């Protein structure tokens, strides 16, 4: 954060409507709208109804918001509206309480723990893919989001304890996540009315929270260390205060992780298989690597170091389809670059838009995993790659997510080739904070059989 006496007002984005400001543009075509803003300046003023908001477009300034003077910016509007679901977990807390919750969550993501969750990641991929049949057509976007949900849920509560909770999460969570953006733009008075949509939302939140609460109570009563994330949360003591989390706090942390770790990973996995259909050369190199390293078997934790191309494919998907919005609140008046930000203003930025700036990533819509070769990635300025955010709120699940995606992409690609089935063109859809694909029906072709067919066709 740079302070300057000569700070000026940020330039306003064009196209504000009377009363509504830029709200309709942000809701109706968010990616186009946000992509248009860097042309106006590194920090641009927009209006969401009566609410002023500042959009940050420069990687260095985004880094200042995330990392500079940690704790200066608080969580923003979208997260506030998700509070009935997230409770007082790490995602909603600010300041000292946020730091305490992060400290208590940290041991759950140590390397030794990740290696234990990796066995779950492999097992879930094996079970899911065992149900696929040659020629089967499925909505891959839905299939891989369920795969992601089952993976994170089983890593969280590994034992039988979690069976009901996993079913309930599968039932309720997608509906809840769909509803949150609508709630972010509607006034609270409307959200309290007993409309069918409000009742459905409240019912789903109640059911989901009550099932996960039972899981926590049962695990506390049981008392043993089952090696899952829930055990870590129940058993870890705060090194500063010596306190443990209460059942309510453990519960809220669990829900935060389920929410944060499902649609993000699910959508990224789906985009990867979509890009493979569009980029045969990338698919070919991925198959070469998985064939060589795995020879058709399942990928496990120890394989990760031997799958560098698979990792680059995952990294490129995280660039190309990064979260499209992160919001913060500026509690005090501050200066960002050369412009002043008033106290109470909403500050927002888009990792997705940053990852598509041509000066940072030439030909930004091309899917090119080799951008992540160490010698090329070294040229990127700090703050240019932020799929997991940065600073005190950086995603604590980043290594978990990378491990999971490398293991599951390699396991699937070693055995299956996914091909688009009939249907409308796949488009990008900003929902929650994630860029989702629209319906992505695909046909599953076993690799060996396809190779045999290709050989047959070439000799015919």
150 is a site residue for ligand HEM (CB under 6 A): no
Instruction: Work out how close the CB of 420 gets to ligand HEM at its nearest, in angstroms, rounded to a whole number.
Output: 22
Binds ligand HEM (CB under 6 A): choice among 231, 268, 330, 334: 268
Name the one residue in this structure whose structure tokens are 């972010």: 184
Q: How far apart are CA 366 and CA 126, in angstroms?
A: 31
C-alpha separations of 392 from 139, 142, 213, 289, 418 in Å: 36, 32, 28, 36, 38
Supply 89's token pair: 């977990």
Beta carbon nearer to ligand HEM, 21 or 215: 215
Residues 6+ apart with CB under 8 A from 212: 165, 168, 169, 251, 254, 255, 258
397 is a site residue for ligand HEM (CB under 6 A): yes
Beta carbon nearer to ligand HEM, 102 or 103: 102
Cβ pair 330, 342 in contact under 8 A: yes
Q: How far apart are CA 34 and CA 57, in angstroms?
A: 9
Residues 6+ apart with CB under 8 A from 348: 53, 54, 55, 56, 76, 325, 326, 327, 328
Residues of span 348-387 touching ligand HEM by CB under 6 A: 387
294 is a site residue for ligand HEM (CB under 6 A): no
310 is a site residue for ligand HEM (CB under 6 A): no
Of 135-143, 218-226, 235-243, 253-261, the segment contacting ligand HEM by CB under 6 A is 253-261
Instruction: Work out how close the CB of 88 gets to ligand HEM at its nearest, in angstroms, rounded to a whole number.
Output: 12
Of 56-64, 288-296, 336-344, 388-396, the segment contacting ligand HEM by CB under 6 A is 388-396
Binds ligand HEM (CB under 6 A): choice among 245, 401, 407, 409: 401
Burial status of residue 239 (CB atoms within 10 A of its CB: 0-12, 13-18, 19 or more): exposed
What is the per-residue binding string for ligand HEM in 312-331, x denoting contact by CB under 6 A?
-----------x--x-----
266 is a site residue for ligand HEM (CB under 6 A): no
Binds ligand HEM (CB under 6 A): choice among 211, 212, 256, 385: 256
Cβ pair 345, 44 in contact under 8 A: no
Q: Which residue is nearest to ligand HEM (CB)?
A: 397
393 is a site residue for ligand HEM (CB under 6 A): yes
Q: How far apart are CA 450 and CA 368, in angstroms?
A: 25
Residues of span 71-130 touching ligand HEM by CB under 6 A: 90-91, 102
C-alpha separations of 299 from 71, 305, 312, 409 in Å: 40, 11, 16, 9
Supply 449's token pair: 């059989």
304 is a site residue for ligand HEM (CB under 6 A): no
30 is a site residue for ligand HEM (CB under 6 A): no
Binds ligand HEM (CB under 6 A): choice among 177, 208, 250, 260: 260
CA dihedral (265, 271, 277, 279) in degrees, to 10, reads -110
208 is a site residue for ligand HEM (CB under 6 A): no
Cβ pair 380, 360 in contact under 8 A: yes
432 is a site residue for ligand HEM (CB under 6 A): no
Footprint of ligand HEM on this chain (CB under 6 A)? 90-91, 102, 152, 256-257, 260-261, 264-265, 268, 323, 326, 387-389, 393, 395-397, 400-401
């Amino acid at each position: 954060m740079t302070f300057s006496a000569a700070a000026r007002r940020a330039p306003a984005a064009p196209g504000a409507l009377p009363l509504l400001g830029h709200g309709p543009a942000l809701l109706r075509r968010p990616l186009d709208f946000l992509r248009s803003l860097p042309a106006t300046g590194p920090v641009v003023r927009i209006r969401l109804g009566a609410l002023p908001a500042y959009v940050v477009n420069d990687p260095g300034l985004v880094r200042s918001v995330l990392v500079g003077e940690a704790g200066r910016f608080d969580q923003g509007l979208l997260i506030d509206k998700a509070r009935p679901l997230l409770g007082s977990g790490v995602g909603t807390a600010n300041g000292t309480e946020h730091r305490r919750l992060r400290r208590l969550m940290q041991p759950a993501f140590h390397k030794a723990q990740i290696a234990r969750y990796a066995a779950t990641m492999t097992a879930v991929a094996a079970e899911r893919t065992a149900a696929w049949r040659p020629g089967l057509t499925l909505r891959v976007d839905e299939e891989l989001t369920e795969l992601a949900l089952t993976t994170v849920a089983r890593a969280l509560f590994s034992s039988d304890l979690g069976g009901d909770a996993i079913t309930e999460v599968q039932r309720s969570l997608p509906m809840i996540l769909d509803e949150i953006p609508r709630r972010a733009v509607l006034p609270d008075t409307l959200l309290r009315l007993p409309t069918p949509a409000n009742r459905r939302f409240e019912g789903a939140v109640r059911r989901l929270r009550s099932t996960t609460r039972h899981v926590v109570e049962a695990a506390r009563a049981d008392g043993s260390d089952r090696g899952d994330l829930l055990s870590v949360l129940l058993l870890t003591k705060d090194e500063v205060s010596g306190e443990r989390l209460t059942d309510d706090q453990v519960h809220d942390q669990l829900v935060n992780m389920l929410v944060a770790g499902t649609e993000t990973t699910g959508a990224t996995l789906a985009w990867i298989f979509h890009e493979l259909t569009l980029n045969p050369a990338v698919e070919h190199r991925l198959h070469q690597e998985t064939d060589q390293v795995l020879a058709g078997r399942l990928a496990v934790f120890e394989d990760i170091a031997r799958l560098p191309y698979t990792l680059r494919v995952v990294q490129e998907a995280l660039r190309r389809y990064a979260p499209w919005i992160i919001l913060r609140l500026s509690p005090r008046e501050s200066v960002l670059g050369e412009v002043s930000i008033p106290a109470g203003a909403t500050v927002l930025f888009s990792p997705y838009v940053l990852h598509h700036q041509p000066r940072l990533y030439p030909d930004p819509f091309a899917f090119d995993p080799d951008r992540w070769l160490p010698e090329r990635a070294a040229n990127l300025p700090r703050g240019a790659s932020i799929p997991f955010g940065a600073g005190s709120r950086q995603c604590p699940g980043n290594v978990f997510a990378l491990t999971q995606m490398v293991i599951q992409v390699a396991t699937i690609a070693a055995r299956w080739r996914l091909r688009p089935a009939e249907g409308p063109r796949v488009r990008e859809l900003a929902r929650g904070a994630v860029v989702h694909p629209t319906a992505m029906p695909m046909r599953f072709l076993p690799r060996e059989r396809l190779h045999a067919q290709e050989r047959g066709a070439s000799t015919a």
